[in-house]
Amino acid sequence: MNNDNTQINNLLSLDNKLAIITGGASGIGFSTAKLLAEMGANIAILDVNENRGNLAIEEIKKIAKKAEFYLCDVTEDNECKNTVETIVKDFGRVDILFNNAGVIKRKTILTLQEDEWDLVLNVSLKAIFLLSRYVIPIMIEQGSGGNIVNTGSGWGLKGGSNAIAYCAAKGGVVNMTRAMAIDHGKHNIRVNCVCPGDTDTELLRGEAKQIGQDEAEFMKEAADRPLKRVGLPQDIAHTVLFLVSDLSSWVTGTTVVVDGGGIA
């Protein structure tokens, strides 16, 4: 039994690896950063919220050997380029990229404004393109490959009401993941997508206000799924850990749905 435990621990270990996590100051990103740190990874979190980022990194520094916060608008090319360059100077390498940043606007195609469309598509989809185009060459140059996980959504696999831009963006994330996996498998870079269902974050609770619904009632409806609860950020973090660890060494180009059976 001890040998079995040692083997599993070795497969899950992220010792001396560097993980970049976007949207890492709160919610799923923050929870994932903490878990990867517990498994030995060094952590770089990116976020546009400087106050939250500084608070988050202080918590992560209690766990990680080394961790830094970088103020970065992941929709801006130069900021992504400069931030990745700084991270490489600070840490010397990049092994994991968790493209997690996202926003949602609960509107139909008739009520959504163009700038709102641009915001949702840029944060959820364009940011993956920008960060990945600077991280992948580093992973290739290192020669040891790497792991990229993109955050999709259940609504990237099925439609949802009053969320036209979000559904479009997350559908793009799912298929973009497949294309990235095909292109970079030869470089030993695995690319996968995690699709959360309703997860208890400020982003989810904020949707209630956007659609004019009582928050408690909204959360109750969100829990109406086979496992009878909304997800926790840790539920998603556990799946990301699986996808970036050697436990999933032959998994790439796939989408893992973590939604308590909601789509089922």
- Alpha-carbon span 85 to 16, nearest angstrom: 19
Q: Per residue, what are the HEC states of 163-183?
A: CHHHHHHHHHHHHHHHHHHHH
pLDDT of residue 5: 83
69, 70, 166, 218: the active-site residue:
166
Tell me the pLDDT tens digit for each residue of 46-104. 999 999 999 999 999 999 999 999 999 999 999 999 999 999 999 999 999 999 999 99
pLDDT of residue 208: 92
**Average model confidence (pLDDT) for the chain?**
97
- Alpha-carbon span 222 to 242, nearest angstrom: 25
Phi, psi of 155 (to 5 degrees): -80, 5
The question of whether 166 is a catalytic residue gets the answer yes
Tell me the pLDDT tens digit for each residue of 121-143. 999 999 999 999 999 999 999 99
Note whether 187 and 145 are within 8 A (CB).
yes
pLDDT of residue 2: 66
The order of strands in the sheet holding 67-71 is 67-71, 42-47, 18-22, 96-99, 146-151, 189-196, 255-258
Tell me the pTM: 0.96
Give how far the C-alpha of residue 67 lies from the chain's centroid of Cα atoms, to the nearest Å: 17
Tell me the pLDDT tens digit for each residue of 41-51. 999 999 999 99
Residues forming beta bridges with residue 190, ordered by sequence position: 147
Write down the residue that tokens 């959820």 correspond to: 124
Three-class SS state of 69 = strand
- Alpha-carbon span 143 to 125, nearest angstrom: 27
Structure-block tokens of residue 44: 């770089």
* 2-196+234-255 to CATH, choices 3.40.50.1980, 3.40.50.720, 3.90.550.10, 3.40.50.9100: 3.40.50.720
Three-class SS state of 149 = strand
How large is the angle between the packed helices 164-184 and 114-121, nearest 10 degrees? 30
Three-class SS state of 153 = coil
Question: CATH 3.40.50.720 region(s) of the chain?
Answer: 2-196+234-255
pLDDT of residue 63: 97
Number of Cβ within a 10 Å radius of residue 207: 21
